[in-house]
Amino acid sequence: MLDPILNFPITSAWVMAMRLGFALLAGLVVGLERAWSNQPAGMRTHMILALGACGVMLLSQLIPLRFANAAMGGDPGRMAAQVISGIGFLGGGAILKFGFNVRGLTTAASIWTISVVGLVFGAGFYLLGLIMTVLLFFNLHVMERIEDLFLVRQDMRIITVIFDSRNLVIKDITKAVRDAVAVKKIAIEEVVDTSETEIQIVCRIPETQSIRKIFDMIKNKGPVKRIKID
């Protein structure tokens, strides 16, 4: 079996080195973008994944050649399939949940995809691997800028406000919050044996929204004792 570019047998050290090099380069490009975005899985993680996936694909091609005369069968794509299914645990480690918000889904997807890119280079499909690397980098780096231009990102937060119940007008408080953010749920609880009332508001707060402005709007509507945003 000859390499489509070098026209050398795939058992050649040059062929294996070039395929592993392309896989490392793809991992470097995508990993740098994730590192610039301060994500937990950065340059080294993506490079190692791409290198490992490429190695598995090379191995799946080399094993049938090594044992060509032996009475053994097998599917060269079986090992590659195990990479695709087994890479999920690493992607799961990149997903973090903060309250109502989930972070790391994009990094988990890039981890899975870069393993596929490694398999593609390992199989000798250089053009496909390069196209996938460019498109993956475009999706991670350029599309994020486009999203920032046209979309306002919002985080789910819980606003906890404690008031003096004696001078509290619930309607004014809830209206002030609804004017500032997109409210999903409001829960009101009166603290026993005190003159305090606790209001919990589940809402979506745009990243561009000033937290101080929300605090000021709430404080202007009643005798606030404490305000907390989780």
Q: Which CATH number belongs to the domain containing residue 199 in this structure?
A: 3.30.70.260
Q: Within a domain: residue 108?
A: yes
Determine the Cα–Cα distance for residues 108 and 105; give it in Å rounded to an integer: 5
Pair 120, 106 in one domain: yes
Q: Which of 102, 133, 150 is the last residue of a domain?
A: 150
Phi, psi of 48 (to 5 degrees): -65, -40
Cα torsion at 119, 121, 126, 129 (round to 10°)?
50
- Give the highest mean pLDDT range of 22-26, 29-33, 136-140, 158-162: 22-26
**Three-state SS for 3?**
coil
Phi, psi of 52 (to 5 degrees): -65, -45
Task: Please report where in the chains the tokens 């890119």 appear, as a residue.
Answer: 117
Pair 104, 21 in one domain: yes
Residue type, 223: P
Q: How confident is the model at residue 39 (pLDDT cuts 50, 70, 90)?
A: low
Q: Which range (11-20, 165-174, 204-213) has the least confidence?
A: 165-174
Residue bearing the bigger pLDDT, 213 or 130: 130
- Residue 208's domain comprises 154-229
pLDDT digits (tens, 9 = 90+) for 98-154: 666 667 777 788 888 888 888 888 877 788 788 888 888 887 777 777 766 766 666
Determine the Cα–Cα distance for residues 198 and 226; give it in Å rounded to an integer: 9
pLDDT at 168 over 70: no
